C-alpha cells in the first residue's frame, strides 16, 4: 500500500483530523508510532514544539504528504510484527520518494528522521544510524529538540545492535543537551542483553580449532548454550539439550556451546564421552571469559535463541519453551514473515 501523493489522496476527514497546519509539528505529534517508544514522562516537555528544522524552506504539499505517511505509520504499532513489516517497507518507499521530490525542504529532513526510525523498527540498525547521522550533519538547520530526538533514537539503534559502548557515547552527548532524555535509558546502558536486540558478535576458535564467527550464521536460527561440566544442573539437563539438538539438526538451526569450564581437558573428555556433535567453544575463566562478559552471564545453564537476523528472541533455560520458540521461528521463516519477539 504505497501512499498516494497528497494532491490526489487527502480526504476531507484527514483534513479535519489535521486541523489544518497552523504550525510545523511533523516530528512531535503524540500519536506517532515512534513517540510510543519514548518514555513520555521524560519527553512531554518538548512534544508540543512546532518548528524542528530552522533555516530551511517549507513546502505545504510535502507537509501534507508527510502527515499522511505519519498517520499510516501510527497505525502499524497495533499490528503484529509479521503483518506490519510490508507496511513499514512501503513507508520507506514513500519517505524516500518525498525526500527525492522535495529535496532541501524541512519536510525532506524530517522524512529522513522517519526513515531512520522505520529502519529501527525493522531491525536494520546500521541503515538507521546512517540516516540519523545525515540529519545530525545539518547542525545549522536543526534545533535542540530535533537533535534530542535524533540522538535518542541513534542511541536506541546502537543498543539494538548490541553495542552498548557506542550507545553510551551518544547518550553522553544527549545528556549535555537534555539530561532527562538521557536518564530515560536507565539500565539499558548497563550492557544487559535484551529481547529484540541484535546479539553481540564474536570471533573465536571452537574445540577443534575452527574459526567460529557468530554472524556467519545469519540466515539460520542460532542457539547459544552457556554451560560447564562443573555445574550439576548443566550435567543433569544435558540429555535434554542433546534431544533438542537432534530434533532440529539439519533444519537451519545452529547450536553453539560455550563452556565456562576451568580446564579444557574437562570439556574435551565430556564431549568425547557424550559424543557431542555440535560446536563447542572453550571460554574458561568461568564468568570472566570474553563471550560470557559480552552476554552478561551470571548463572548457568542459560540459553540464547537468535533469529535469522541474529536478534535475540529468547533468554532463559526453559527447554520446552526454547523448543517452542525454535519451532515457531522455523514455521514463520517458511512464510517469509518477521518472527515475533518472545519474552
Task: Choose between 40 and 171: higher pLDDT.
Answer: 171
Residues 6+ apart with CB under 8 A from 78: none
Helices in 250-310 by DSSP H: which ranges? 264-274, 290-294
Residue 76 has pLDDT above 60, yes or no: yes
Q: Average pLDDT of the chain? A: 78
What's the confidence (pLDDT) of residue 186? 60
Q: What is the mean pLDDT of the segment spanning 9-20?
A: 31
Quick check: 334 pLDDT over 80? no
- Using one digit for the tens of pLDDT, what is the confidence trace for 93-121? 999 999 999 998 999 999 999 999 998 88
- Tell me what pLDDT residue 187 has: 53
Q: Report d(CA 74, CA 89) in Å as an integer.
A: 14
Rounded to an integer, the average pLDDT of 26-31 is: 34
Q: Which of 16-20, 160-164, 174-178, 319-323 has the highest mean pLDDT?
A: 319-323
Q: What value does the mean pLDDT take over residues 310-327?
A: 91
Rounded-to-integer distance, Cα 246 and Cα 221, Å:
15
Cα–Cα distance list, 16 to 12, 13, 21, 30, 284 (Å):
6, 5, 10, 17, 65
pLDDT band at 9 (very low <50, low <70, confident <90, very high): very low
Cell numbers linked to 199? 546479539
pTM here?
A: 0.51
Three-state DSSP at 180 gives helix
Q: Give the C-alpha separation, 86 to 66, whole Å.
A: 19
- Domains of the chain, each with CATH number or no CATH: 6-190 (1.25.40.10), 203-334 (3.40.30.10)
As given in the structure block, the three cell numbers for residue 132 are 540519523
β-strand partners of 316: 303
Amino acid at each position: 500500500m504505497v501512499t498516494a501523493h497528497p494532491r490526489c489522496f487527502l480526504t476531507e476527514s484527514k483534513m479535519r483530523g489535521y486541523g489544518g497546519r497552523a504550525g510545523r509539528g511533523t516530528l512531535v505529534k503524540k500519536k506517532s508510532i515512534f513517540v510510543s517508544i519514548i518514555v513520555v514522562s521524560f519527553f512531554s516537555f518538548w512534544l508540543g514544539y512546532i518548528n524542528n528544522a530552522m533555516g530551511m524552506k517549507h513546502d505545504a504539499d510535502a507537509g501534507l504528504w508527510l502527515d499522511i505517511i505519519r498517520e499510516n505509520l501510527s497505525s502499524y504499532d497495533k499490528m503484529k510484527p509479521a503483518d506490519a513489516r510490508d507496511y513499514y517497507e512501503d513507508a520507506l518507499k514513500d519517505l524516500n520518494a518525498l525526500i527525492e521530490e522535495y529535496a532541501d525542504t524541512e519536510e525532506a529532513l524530517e522524512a529522513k528522521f522517519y526513515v531512520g526510525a522505520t529502519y529501527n523498527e525493522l531491525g536494520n540498525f546500521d541503515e538507521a544510524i546512517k540516516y540519523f547521522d545525515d540529519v545530525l550533519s545539518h547542525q545549522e538547520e536543526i534545533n535542540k529538540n530535533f537533535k534530542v530526538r535524533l540522538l535518542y533514537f541513534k542511541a536506541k539503534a546502537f543498543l539494538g545492535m548490541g553495542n552498548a559502548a557506542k550507545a553510551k557515547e551518544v547518550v553522553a552527548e544527549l545528556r549535555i543537551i537534555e539530561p532527562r532524555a538521557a536518564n530515560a535509558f536507565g539500565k539499558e546502558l548497563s550492557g544487559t542483553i535484551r529481547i529484540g536486540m541484535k546479539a553481540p558478535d564474536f570471533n573465536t576458535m571452537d574445540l577443534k580449532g575452527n574459526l567460529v564467527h557468530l554472524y556467519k550464521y545469519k540466515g539460520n536460527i542460532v542457539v547459544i548454550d552457556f554451560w560447564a561440566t562443573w555445574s550439576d544442573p548443566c550435567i543433569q539437563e544435558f540429555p535434554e539439550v542433546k534431544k533438542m539438538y537432534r530434533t532440529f539438526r539439519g533444519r537451519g538451526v545452529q547450536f553453539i556451546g560455550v563452556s565456562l569450564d576451568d580446564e579444557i581437558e574437562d570439556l574435551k573428555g565430556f564431549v568425547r564421552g557424550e559424543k557431542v556433535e555440535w560446536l563447542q567453544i572453550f571460554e574458561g575463566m568461568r564468568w570472566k571469559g570474553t563471550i560470557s562478559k559480552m552476554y552478561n552471564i551470571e548463572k548457568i545453564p542459560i540459553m540464547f535463541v537468535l533469529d535469522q537476523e541474529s536478534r535475540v528472541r529468547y533468554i532463559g533455560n526453559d527447554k520446552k519453551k526454547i523448543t517452542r520458540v525454535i519451532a515457531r521461528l522455523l514455521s514463520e521463516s517458511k512464510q517469509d514473515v518477521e518472527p515475533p519477539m518472545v519474552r
